[in-house]
Amino acid sequence: MTEPLTRGLFITLEGGEGAGKSTQARLLDDALARRGRKVLRTREPGGAPGAEQLREFLLKGDHGLSLRAEVLLHFAARLDHIERTIRPALDAGQVVICDRFFDSTLAYQGYGLAHGDPALLEFIARLIDLTGLMPNLTLLLAVPRTLARTRMQQRGGGSDRYERLDEAFHLRVADGFRRIADQAPGRIATIDAGGDVEQVQQALLTEIDRRLPA
């Protein structure tokens, strides 16, 4: 069962490649710090030494794992991240801003790789329950695929094994995120992230002010 938070606030950022999550997470960190909040900014897969090693394994090259094994590895990294990094920060009353969390497993493995297979979605749902931490707010950054692709091309650099998958996969991921958001309107706010960086940041802060206690 997911435990209620007693202190701190847990905010996750989600979206496909090229949605601008990392930039927005950084700006959000600055904005909340200016308001006097102590902020921890982190990411998945990763966010703790062991989880970062699993990130290397999951994102570099071709690991050849079966899909359920891959899902379990994402959750092993997540549990390490929760226990070593996220929980202690929340217990200390901090705001934790996390670039990706379990919605990415639902979208990428559940909808993207498994084409929305109900058995895999149920498998992931049970793991979500077992890991026992629910974000207070999830900000889903939505951009049209054409814009996301342009941003990815401009960014350049090495692409991970999910980024390299074909267009149909990325469209399934985007559709998956939409479905996930439709099923959890109380937790997930979808933000139009197609505008300029400052506009998007303002939209994120507006949602935070509207949905979370001061």
Of the pair 109, 190, the CB lying nearest ligand TMP is at 109
Tell me phi and psi for residue 95, to 5 degrees.
-90, 125
Amino acid at site 10: F
Nearer to ligand TMP, 37 or 147 (CB): 147
Instruction: Find the binder of ligand TMP among 12, 85, 94, 105 (CB under 6 A).
Output: 105
- Within positions 117 to 156, which residues make up the interface with ligand TMP, using CB under 6 A? none
**Spacing of C-alpha 15 from chain mean position:** 7
Residues 6 or more apart from 92 whose CB is under 8 A from it?
7, 8, 38
Q: Name 97's bridge partners.
A: 11, 41
Distance from C-alpha of 50 to C-alpha of 38, rounded to nearest angstrom: 24
Exactly one of 56, 160, 182, 209 binds ligand TMP (CB under 6 A); which one? 160
Considering the complex, state which of residue 10 and residue 108 has its C-beta at the smaller distance from ligand TMP: 108
User: How many binding residues for ligand TMP (CB under 6 A)?
Assistant: 13
Please, which of residues 31-90 interact with ligand TMP by CB under 6 A? 43-45, 59, 74
- Give the whole-angstrom CA distance, residue 67 versus residue 115: 12
Instruction: Closer to ligand TMP by CB, 32 or 51: give it.
Output: 51
What count of other Cβ atoms lies within 10 Å of the Cβ of residue 68? 14
Provide the strand spans (E) within the chain.
9-14, 39-43, 95-99, 137-142, 188-192
Which of 10, 111, 123, 162: binder of ligand TMP (CB under 6 A)? 162
Binding mask of the shown chain, residues 169 to 188, with x at each position contacting ligand TMP by CB under 6 A: --------------------
Helix (H) or strand (E) holding 160: none
CB of 143 to ligand TMP, least distance (A): 14
Of 37 and 175, which has the nearer Cβ to ligand TMP?
Answer: 175
What residue ranges bind ligand TMP (CB under 6 A)?
43-45, 59, 74, 100, 104-105, 108-109, 160, 162-163
